Amino acid sequence: MRILVTGGAGFIGSHLCEKLLLAGHTVVALDNFLTGSEENVAGFVKNPSFSLIRHDIVQPLKFRGGLVKTLGSEPLDFIFHLACPASPIDYQKYPLETLLASSEGTKNILDFALPTKTRVLFASTSEVYGDPLIHPQKEDYSGNVNPIGPRSCYDEGKRYAESLCVHYSRIYSLPITIIRIFNTYGPRMRQNDGRVIPNFIMQALSGMALSLNGDGSQTRSFCYVSDMVDGLISAMKGESPLFGPINLGNPEETSIHALAALIIRLTNSRSMVSFHSALTDDPRRRCPDISLAKETLGFSPNVSLEEGLQKTIEWFKKEG
């Protein structure tokens, strides 16, 4: 298959491109490198089945009557649409870029897919549930989001994009898959990405205190990137015009305080923890109900938090 991956030079996108290439697909990655990098694709950039195009999806993919030059004229069989900043630090630094990537950017991808009715898998997020009042989160929960808070550029952007996808599917019969990704981690996250796992690993490896926001009792459920990529690829098989939304993640829930203790143990670090003010609108509890993914995709994450952290720590020691 010939597959387009937007955000292909990002953390999850680069792992996805790599796995698709291994499976024998031809992959075109689009990225504006706002939060991704060429380094992420360095291991396979010379693969003749891979091409990387610098493009901001906020600009239409068709311009001056032609396709983006290097995208070529061969048809695409599938589009994974991942382009959007994802770390809270990133999206709060780039709020307008984030809103536009989800709104204009998603519309441009859907318009691009329309003439050939190419299926688009939209990478949504557990953040559509905001600070959830229901636990664990099931797909039919409509969420608790503050539309004017510091996270709203991301949360509301993704909610708008889901709505856009649903209506393109209903009005134009464009085949769409919506996947709600829960916290995912692993190699290729940037040292200064700002998300909790790279922060804690870098702090533990350098002997600095691990910075806990609030009292650390808030929870997350972390999925190792190889499990997430397998889940995304398994979602390519969805055939109904609108497939999803489906939660993907690992339901192994942990408090952030327990995560800090685990990372200190796995790195043999002497670091302590330091307590900082709680963040505005920081979700208190997050854990996916993945029964729909199990049933429809046969999805079952198999990398435990401890195993995934060990692999990630090794990578940060060598490359991070």
- Based on CB atoms, which residue is closest to ligand UDP, 71 or 86? 86
- Annotated active-site residue in 91, 94, 129, 154: 154
- Based on CB atoms, which residue is closest to ligand UDP, 113 or 197? 197
SS3 of residue 252 by DSSP = coil
Using CA atoms, how far apart are residues 273 and 257, in angstroms rounded to an integer? 9
Site for ligand UDP (CB under 6 A): how many residues?
A: 13
Q: Does 211 sit near ligand UDP (CB under 6 A)?
A: yes
Does the active-site annotation cover 154?
A: yes
Residue 196's binding partner out of ligand UDP, ligand NAD, none, with CB under 5 to 8 Å set by partner kind: ligand UDP
- Based on CB atoms, which residue is closest to ligand NAD, 94 or 168? 94
- Tell me which residues touch ligand NAD (CB under 6 A): 6-7, 9-13, 30-36, 56-58, 82-86, 90, 101, 105, 123, 125-126, 181, 183-184
Under a CB-based contact definition with an 8 Å cutoff, are residues 219 and 285 in contact? Answer: yes
Residue 105's binding partner out of ligand NAD, ligand UDP, none, with CB under 5 to 8 Å set by partner kind: ligand NAD
Residue 13's binding partner out of ligand NAD, ligand UDP, none, with CB under 5 to 8 Å set by partner kind: ligand NAD
- For the bound state, the minimum distance from the C-beta of residue 231 to ligand UDP, rounded and expressed in Å, comes to 18
User: What φ, ψ does residue 176 adopt, rounded to 5°?
Assistant: -130, 140
Question: Which two structure tokens, joined as six digits, stand for 45?
Answer: 């950039």
- Based on CB atoms, which residue is closest to ligand NAD, 31 or 156? 31
Under a CB-based contact definition with an 8 Å cutoff, are residues 127 and 155 in contact? Answer: yes
Residues between 62 and 91 that touch ligand UDP (CB under 6 A): 88
Measuring CA to CA, how many Å separate 160 from each of 13, 53, 105, 132, 175?
Answer: 21, 26, 11, 18, 18
- Based on CB atoms, which residue is closest to ligand NAD, 248 or 269? 248
Q: Does 218 sit near ligand UDP (CB under 6 A)?
A: yes
Residue 184's binding partner out of ligand NAD, ligand UDP, none, with CB under 5 to 8 Å set by partner kind: ligand NAD
Among 121, 195, 297, 313, binds ligand UDP (CB under 6 A): 195
Using CA atoms, how far apart are residues 79 and 318, in angstroms rounded to an integer? 33
- What's the angle, vertex CA 34, arms to CA 277 and CA 303, rounded to 5? 65
- For the bound state, the minimum distance from the C-beta of residue 53 to ligand UDP, rounded and expressed in Å, comes to 28
Half-sphere exposure (Cβ direction) of 36: Cα atoms closer than 13 Å: 30
Under a CB-based contact definition with an 8 Å cutoff, are residues 306 and 267 in contact? Answer: no
SS3 of residue 60 by DSSP = coil
Using CA atoms, how far apart are residues 87 and 195, in angstroms rounded to an integer? 6
Q: Does 279 sit near ligand UDP (CB under 6 A)?
A: yes
- What's the angle, vertex CA 200, arms to CA 313 and CA 231, rounded to 5? 60
Q: Specify the DSSP element, H or E, that contains 51.
A: strand 50-54
Among 213, 255, 291, 296, binds ligand UDP (CB under 6 A): 213
Q: Does 220 sit near ligand UDP (CB under 6 A)?
A: yes
Question: Which two structure tokens, joined as six digits, stand for 68?
Answer: 């983006």
Helices 305-318, 196-205: inter-axial angle, 10-degree rounding: 60
Task: List interacting residues with ligand UDP (CB under 6 A).
Answer: 88, 183, 195-196, 199, 211-213, 218, 220, 256, 279, 282
- Which residue numbers are catalytic? 154
